[in-house]
Each structure stands twice: as structure tokens, then as C-alpha cells.
Amino acid sequence: MVEKQKQREQMMKELYTMRRAAGYGSNFHTFQDYMNYRAHLELLERREALPPSPSLADLRSKSPAQRKERRYSTSDYVETDLLTRSLEKARETLNSPRPPKPFIPSFDQLRISARNKDEAIERTLRPKRPPLPASLPPEDEAQVADFLANPKFLARLKREKVAAPDLERLTPGLWLNDEIINFYGALMMSRWETEKENRANQPQGNPTGRAGSRLLNIHYFNSFFWPKLLKEGYTTSLARWTNKVDIFAKDAVILAVNHGNSHWTAAAINFRRKRIESYDSMGFVRDTVYKVLRDYLDGEHRDKKKKPFDFTGWENYTLEATPQQENGYDCGVFTCQFMEYLSRGEQEFNFTQEDMPYLRSRMIWEIGNVRLRDD
């Protein structure tokens, strides 16, 4: 047992050294937590364990202070085979690339390739986004401190609310709960409603609203939509979620997905680009997300439009350069930012793990002021 523990520790150190050489920026202790977290998620994937219970419900029963001290044990989660596979992959990356296998594209692959080229041209013509700032302006940082120091803090937006214990989860090192995730989704919806009003009030010569606006007409499903869909499939009760909205008239439907009460990811049904999209800051391929959302889309179309949905030209998509977390607790922040960028029609993300402290402070400011920042 002691010998196996030493072997795991040596492998962990070797892998950390190789990841550092490849650009990993966090310390060794954080890397250990990251690998423990990744192993935990892999075990869930192997068991196909996606429990339908309310996402991250266990976080409600524990105080932020208690949750912050939690650490997965190496002996419980980091298996030797995971470290072995990770080391082999890292070594392959450092070695010379193998000759590619012969590839003959299909018609759909050629079509997708052409679309990707068009998007690459669009990105080239689009001005390069500046890096995110290191912090908010001093007066806004002071406001963030005031929000956190207020034990009676309460922000409301339609049906969503965030109280002081929820807001504290946006301090470093803590997981986000449903309240934070869903309030952020409500902020995106509120921003679009404001934009729609602005566009309606514009003169005929300027129907596009504010200058440079690329906000999408989105619908956000709160975090309880996914577990219900996963457990029950498309049912009459789920159909009632859209009695007052036609999702097929939207540019995109955006949702937060929780996996096994352990990990947040973002997903979207992108009508403009004919894509079912999944964005995971741990880099897992989410085939279940693609399948379940395709089934939902067909069920919703049969219910509301009385015929099957036409999936011609649709693809399952994730961005190859999706930003990746380097620890076991920032997935909720990554997910909120994925959704926020998608709601603005962005095709890529310009944030990294290094931006998490700033983004957490920014989200506190946005929730406290009940609006998303424009900068």
C-alpha cells in the first residue's frame, strides 16, 4: 500500500512538471485537487451516473466555510491508470507527431469545413478583443466588499433571488449553487429584454438598436430543467415550460447542465448556426448532452409545431479551444461566462483560469447591481 502511494506521488509530480511545461499555471497542491476532481468525474462517466436530483443540492446543506475545506483523497479517487493515461498523453504531446491517417471527407464534413472557414474569416476581420482587466475599478471593488459584508444582502430579479450565503460562494475557492447560476441566467434574459425595447424605440433608419450590438435573442432554461429532462424525457409537464415562449423563434436556447451533482457545464441549442453545443471546462466530451437535447428539440417541435424537427445540416459542436479550469471548484464560474459570451453571439472566449478572481468579483458586482456590465 505504501509502495503504491509512493508510485502515485511520483507519477503526480512527473505529470505536474510536464503540465507546467505545457502552460499549466497553478501550484502543485491545486494540481493535486484538479486531478482528484478529474478522477471523480471520470468515475461518474464510467458509471453513467447522472443523477436527476436538483443540481448541486448537496451544496445547500453545507456552509461555504465547510465546503471550502473539502478535499478529495488521493487514495479514493486518483487511480494509477488515470495518472498513467495522463502521463502517456503528455509524453505523446512532447514527442514528434505521428503521421496522420489518410482522410477522405464526407459531404457533411466538407460543409462543416466551409462553415468553419467562414467563421475563421469573420474572426480575422473582427477586432481582437483586449485581455480582461486584473480587477474592477476601485469604487466598484469597494461596492463588492460592501455587498459581501452585508449579512442581509438580497438581490431579486423576477423569480430569482440571491441572499448573502449564496453571494459568498463567489469568493475564491467555492462552488457555485443553483441560485447564483440561475440569477446570472436571469440577468442575460433581462439584458435581452432591455435590448429588444431599445431596438423597438429606434428610428426606422437604425433598427438594430445600440451601435455594435450583437446580442442574441435567447431563452434561458434554469438549472432544474436539465435534471427533469434527463429523468423524465419530454413529458407534458416539461412541455408547459414553454407555453409562453416559442423557442424556435429564438436565436439560441442556453442552459446550465449539472453532472452528477459534481460539475457544471454549459450547453446551447443554436438555431442560427444549426448546432447542439456543449462547453466543458474539464474537457470531457458530453455525448449525453447532445443526445438528450436532440430528443428534447424533436419532442418540443412535435408538440408545438405538430411535426418532427428537421435536423438536416445540424451538428454536435464544441469549441476546440474551450477555456479549461485548473482546479476542482471554478466550473460554475466558467459555465456562467460560457453562457454570457454565447448570449452575445461570441464564437470564442478570451478568459482563462487566471481571470477567475476578476470574474468572481465582477459577478458579485453584477448580481448586487442587478445588471450585467457593458465593459
| Complete DSSP assignment for 86-103 | HHHHHHHHHSPPPPPPP-
| Residue 112 pLDDT | 67
The reply to whether 185 and 86 lie within a common domain is no
Question: What domain range includes position 89?
Answer: 2-94
Flag whether 56 is in a domain. yes
| Residue 242 pLDDT | 96
| Residue 130 pLDDT | 81
| Residue 291 pLDDT | 96
| Residue 170 pLDDT | 98
The reply to whether 333 and 204 lie within a common domain is yes
The reply to whether 149 and 89 lie within a common domain is no
DSSP string, 245-280: --GGGSSEEEEEEEETTTEEEEEEEETTTTEEEEE-
* Alpha-carbon gap, residue 38 to 72, rounded angstroms: 10
The total domain count for the chain is 2
Residue after which a domain boundary falls, among 94, 115, 149: 94
Flag whether 51 is in a domain. yes
In 3D space, the residue among 279, 297, 283 whose CA is nearest the CA of residue 233 turns out to be: 297
Flag whether 359 is in a domain. yes
Flag whether 110 is in a domain. no
| Residue 4 pLDDT | 78
| Residue 205 pLDDT | 43
Flag whether 119 is in a domain. no
The reply to whether 90 and 142 lie within a common domain is no
The reply to whether 54 and 156 lie within a common domain is no
Flag whether 354 is in a domain. yes
The reply to whether 87 and 148 lie within a common domain is no
* Alpha-carbon gap, residue 37 to 140, rounded angstroms: 33
Which is it for the CA torsion 135, 141, 144, 145, positive or negative? positive
The reply to whether 147 and 76 lie within a common domain is no
The reply to whether 313 and 168 lie within a common domain is yes
Active site residues: 263, 280, 331
Flag whether 121 is in a domain. no
The reply to whether 240 and 153 lie within a common domain is yes
| Residue 273 pLDDT | 95
Which is it for the CA torsion 336, 341, 344, 350, positive or negative? positive
The reply to whether 144 and 241 lie within a common domain is yes
| Residue 282 pLDDT | 95
Residue after which a domain boundary falls, among 71, 94, 117: 94
Would you say 86 and 79 are in contact if contact means Cβ atoms under 8 Å apart? no
Residue spans of the chain under pLDDT 50:
49-63, 65-76, 205-212
In 3D space, the residue among 327, 331, 328 whose CA is nearest the CA of residue 177 turns out to be: 331
The reply to whether 223 and 303 lie within a common domain is yes
CATH number, residue 227: 3.40.395.10
pLDDT tens per residue across span 26-84? 899 899 889 888 888 888 877 654 444 444 444 444 445 444 444 444 444 556 677 77
The reply to whether 202 and 319 lie within a common domain is yes
Residue after which a domain boundary falls, among 61, 94, 127: 94
